[in-house]
Structure 1
Amino acid sequence: MIRKVQLPLQTLNLIVGFAVWVIISSLVSFMGEDIQIPADKVAIITAIPVVLGSVLRIPLGYYANIFGARIIFLISFILLLFPVFYISEANTYMDLIIGGLFLGIGGAVFSVGVTSLPKYYPKERHGLVNGVYGLGNLGTAVTSFSAPVVATQIGWSATVKLYLILLLVFAALNLFFGDRKEPKVKTALMEQIKGVYKNEKLWLFSLLYFITFGSFVAFTVYLPNFLVTNFDLTKVDAGMRTAGFIALATFMRPIGGWLADRFNALMLLIIIFSGFTLAAIVLAFSPTFTLYTVGCLVIAMVAGAGNGVIFKLVPQYFNKQAGIVNGIVSMMGGLGGFFPPLLLSYIHSVTGQYSIGFMLLSQVALASLILVLWMIYSDKLSLSSEVFNNTAQGILVTDPKGTIVAVNPAFTSVTGFEEKEAVGQKPSILRANRQSPDYYARMWKSIKETGMWQGEIWNKRKNGEMYLQWLNISAVKDKSGEDIRYVGTFSELPEGKAGK
């Protein structure tokens, strides 16, 4: 029973965490009526919760593996009581900055669920499970939509205090319904970091999530105030439209995860970052409100789907270090939501428009698209290398002049020649001189005429020992039909099996 409720419970936990995380950005227009907030500080105040919400994702993902999700969610909700109450009593914009920094705990809990939940499901369902958990992003929509509505009735301070009740309720739910028997993984933090930090895929996934989740957070933070100041919408209308953006992006997340369970995740990322590039270009040209809406909705769709796809890839490539990698990747996504609003605000203060900022987004998305294409190519090379190095047959590859350019470990096992000893030499280093020159002439005639030859042949090892092998030689041709390399594959034969 307890194990079955973990997915809905942890998803609701994330909804609460994210709802608290964006309290300030959703109510900043109301707070500005009672607190003097300099115009150039609004972007900082709304973005500051993202900082701790990003950095804390690494330790929370790590400790979720050690103590379990129940303890981490429980402690996080108790700690959030203090900054929420502090913000409700704020009198200066510095109070908002200090309280907002610690609101980041609400965003940091994301790495808890993506570390915990895969333990309960088989690999082929991880994309969908993490996508469903990602529905917790709706917490930002809940606050963006409801907080302004409630604040118009009871004021922003009382609205913030309502979140204290919500946090206490969910602290109790985790205390009683959290899984006390969740499997634990106890590996030193630095040991895990050392095991992954040199892996280029970690940083590639971090960059991709920096764009997808960062865009989601950035638009969530930036839209309410932007729609009010640039399109003269009411605060409630801007909140509702922001909630629509959040809802679309959030519901696309499990769809992205579901698609990644069934199709090539990297090919899906090609579609996603192509959409990012085009949508950002549309926004860069300061379109009408209708086109601006279309651009934002496309960003919501591709950002949400991209979030789901990436968190299908993380456990696929980092099964044993999922906790720390989830923390690092999700941290980078959170930071992706911190810097764009500040950058957009600075660009706007200098140029009076946001076009350059959106054009930068389109170029970063295009660069990400190129990197995904490179990763697909790299994976194909890696697969070829794995097959080459792990096949049981000996393999040697020569250039058109017959000079050895590559050998595999099985070649060394059979012949005794190490790779550095064989590369640069001719295959004649293996010749046992038990076949006549005419035998080799017929061999090469077959290769030139048919592109291949196979048969038994005597060779010798590095130590001079003779052995019989079954040898296949194939010519690799370019598009013009010219031989560009020769590939020989062989396996040793017992002498008793030699052909008569």
Structure 2
Amino acid sequence: MVDRKSFLQSGHKGSLMSSFLYFDVSFMLWVLLGPLAVLIASDYNLNAAEKASLVALPALGGSILRLVLGYLTDRIGPKKTGIVGMILTVIPLVYGWKFANSLTDMYFVALMLGIAGASFAAALPLASRWYPPQYQGLALGIAGAGNSGTIFSTLFANRLAQHYGDWHIVFGLALIPLVIVFFIFLFTAKDSPNQPAPLKLKDYGRVLAQKDTWLFCLFYMVTFGGFSGMANYLTIFYNTEYGLSPVMAADFATICIIAGSLFRPIGGYLSDRMGGIRMLMILYGVIGLMLAITATLPALWVTTGLLFVAMMGMGMGNGAVFQLVPQRFSQEVGIITGIVGAAGGLGGFFLPKILGNLKLSTGSFTPGFLILAAIAVSCIVIMAIVQTQWKKTWIGEGGKVKTNSIDSVGA
């Protein structure tokens, strides 16, 4: 049982809150095109593949830029990196509001919104570096729960566009919460005194040379990539498959997104209690089963229930992965956060592309959901194979970290 008083005293409440808010508003902006895609697609007469590309590009941009922000986090600290990230996020919002008048323009906006997605590489180390190993899962789960910002996009983006009669204005209105959070972050966030020494490019190579890095990348592509990809694509899915209006389609997407957002801290907490390995194997099984049944394209409410559970598993899986990552790579948190986060972004890029492109070529969403289910199940198989070696080095009984061997694994 986590001692709440001890947890609060062991870290910095202002930085934890700032991390959450920065992540929250960034996620809101990162997936802004997801709910708006139906309206944009109507204006530009987009096919299934073009709609998928539009909502996938922010994930690609975030994936690339997370490596940059991860490097900056180690060089100048997470607070300064977060400030830079929020300032740069103004660019796509202003451009989408005032200057975007073609699909090419919107592709540019989509790619640049990746700056908001890159917030992951600064927000999580800002929180993580304040807390001891036994509270990593909870601290990162709380900060990472900022992915709940997606809920604001799906709930309000299309309603605001409908109210003002123009989806462009939504980008301008989104500047308001960004500015508010910017000033809160500026005055309440504080870098931990336990900052690791700045690392060099060769240190990235050392981390990338380790097999575990790529395994964590794969695992996070399925959990975080699945969550962010679904968050961006579900409005299109509900509109296309069930004929819902843009607002109603986004509302159904919100139901599923809530599960993935709110259960992330629970995933981190349960991983602290029962071990991240055991937790992840259960969650991948749940995700795979739910997506496989969704592939049958049942009635609307059945599909929503299945996707609700699947995204709940993805959200908890995000917390579980990042309960393990800082333990395995305790001296390279900034680097590994950027690398694994980038992989998660790539997952968010490929998921809409898989669903959208296969829908265009086959006329059905079934093949896409079956492929996604198979990927989740493959993670169980891979984890079952590698956990034997992990238990000999840095994982103890039940999947919990051996505290005395964390740093002994090395390169």
TM-score (norm 1): 0.73
Cα offset, 1:27, TM superposition = 1.1
Cα offset, 1:8, TM superposition = 0.9
Aligned to 1:108: 118
Deviations 1:282-301 (A, max 9, x none): 01222222331222012111
Match of residue 161, structure 1, among 172, 189, 211: 172
Supply the AA of the counterpart residue of 1:47: A
Aligned to 2:40: 31
Matched ranges for 1:205-244 at <5 A: 205-244=216-255
Aligned to 1:372: 383
Matched ranges for 1:392-471 at <5 A: none
Deviations 1:331-362 (A, max 9, x none): 10110010121122111112111111111112
SS in 2 for 1:120: coil
Alignment partner of 1:43 is 2:43 = no
- Number of corresponding residues: 384
Alpha-carbon distance between aligned partners in 1 of 2:281 and 2:294, rounded to the nearest angstrom: 20
CA gap 1:35/1:366 in 2 versus in 1, 3 angstroms: closer
Match of residue 93, structure 1, among 100, 103, 111: 103
Cα offset, 1:35, TM superposition = 4.2
Q: Is the 8 A contact 1:68 1:182 kept in 2?
A: no
Supply the AA of the counterpart residue of 1:363: A
SS in 1 for 2:219: helix
Match of residue 277, structure 1, among 288, 307, 314: 288
Deviations 1:206-239 (A, max 9, x none): 1010101111011111110111121011211111
Q: Is the 8 A contact 2:79 2:122 kept in 1?
A: no
Cα offset, 1:196, TM superposition = 1.4
Matched ranges for 1:38-437 at <5 A: 40-89=49-98, 90-154=100-164, 155-179=166-190, 182-382=193-393
Alpha-carbon distance between aligned partners in 2 of 1:283 and 1:36, rounded to the nearest angstrom: 27
Structure 2: which 5+ runs fail to align? Answer: 1-8, 396-411
Greater length-normalized contact order (CA 8 Å, ≥ 6 residues apart): 2
Q: Is the 8 A contact 1:66 1:185 kept in 2?
A: no
Cα offset, 1:159, TM superposition = 1.9
Aligned to 1:3: 12
SS in 2 for 1:159: helix
Give the structure with the higher percent helix: 2
Cα offset, 1:71, TM superposition = 1.1
Alpha-carbon distance between aligned partners in 1 of 2:377 and 2:113, rounded to the nearest angstrom: 33
Percent pairwise identity: 31
TM-score (norm 2): 0.89
Alpha-carbon distance between aligned partners in 2 of 1:202 and 1:122, rounded to the nearest angstrom: 22
Alpha-carbon distance between aligned partners in 1 of 2:49 and 2:391, rounded to the nearest angstrom: 49
Q: Is the 8 A contact 1:66 1:184 kept in 2?
A: no
Alpha-carbon distance between aligned partners in 2 of 1:75 and 1:20, rounded to the nearest angstrom: 16
Deviations 1:59-78 (A, max 9, x none): 21232232222211111111
SS in 1 for 2:174: helix
Q: Is the 8 A contact 1:227 1:238 kept in 2?
A: yes
Aligned to 1:484: none
Alpha-carbon distance between aligned partners in 1 of 2:361 and 2:47, rounded to the nearest angstrom: 17
Cα offset, 1:263, TM superposition = 1.1
Give the structure with the higher percent strand: 1
Larger Rg: 1
Cα offset, 1:33, TM superposition = 4.5
Cα offset, 1:152, TM superposition = 1.2
Alpha-carbon distance between aligned partners in 2 of 1:24 and 1:161, rounded to the nearest angstrom: 13
CA gap 1:182/1:149 in 2 versus in 1, 3 angstroms: farther
Alpha-carbon distance between aligned partners in 1 of 2:29 and 2:109, rounded to the nearest angstrom: 12
